[in-house]
Amino acid sequence: MDSLFAPWRFSYLVQGKAPEGCIFCAALTSSGDDDRLIVYRGRLNFVILNLYPYNNGHLMIVPNAHLRSPAVSTAEQRAEMSELAVAGEEALREAYLPDGFNLGMNLGRAAGAGIEQHFHLHIVPRWSGDTNFMTVTAGTRVIPEDLGVARRRLRDLFLKRLGDDARGGA
Ligand SMILES: [Zn+2]
């Protein structure tokens, strides 16, 4: 279904460029996917590794549009976000053999959102014995795996499942 009412599109036109200070918008418009830890670009959302991960393989699915909540996103955006989340779960299962996952969003500062103006879905692989979900997106940890290595592993697994992304190539 086509959405005629798209307030995010309007604000984008008014501002004429990505909002300053938003790391997701900056990552999206950069040319260095490797440096920015972008794993995969869909049509309406992209997948990025968390620079301050809770665990190895901590992914985020982020809409291309600078939106503060799913409530102002379109059904199409949300549908693709769900597809990418499923691909993320599968890719992480294959890469890291986790015992479980947390998927969730923090909307608003009070809920622990680090970047509250641009909503995103966290996908965090979990292993038996690590701590509860409340600490997942609020705190940070030191992670042994190099993020560049993780990015390449996961990108290959996304490409295998979904084919070339919006950027194409590797
Ligand atoms: Zn943004």
Whole-angstrom Cα distance, residue 43 to residue 41? Answer: 7
Lowest mean pLDDT segment, chosen from 46-55, 69-78, 143-152: 143-152
Whole-prediction pTM:
0.80
What are the backbone dihedrals phi and psi of residue 44, each rounded to the nearest 5 degrees, phi first?
-120, -10
Between the CA of 153 and the centroid of ligand 1 the distance, in Å, is 26
**Ligand 1 centre distance from Cα of residue 115 (Å):** 9
Non-local (6+) Cβ contacts of 127 within 8 A are 55, 98, 99, 100
Q: Which of 58, 66, 118, 120 is catalytic?
A: 120
Catalytic residue flag (residue 120)? yes
**Ligand 1 centroid to residue 97 C-alpha, Å:** 32
Length of the chain counted residue by residue:
170
What pLDDT score was predicted for residue 141?
52
How many angstroms does the Cα of residue 99 sit away from the middle of ligand 1?
Answer: 32
Average pLDDT over residues 126-138: 64
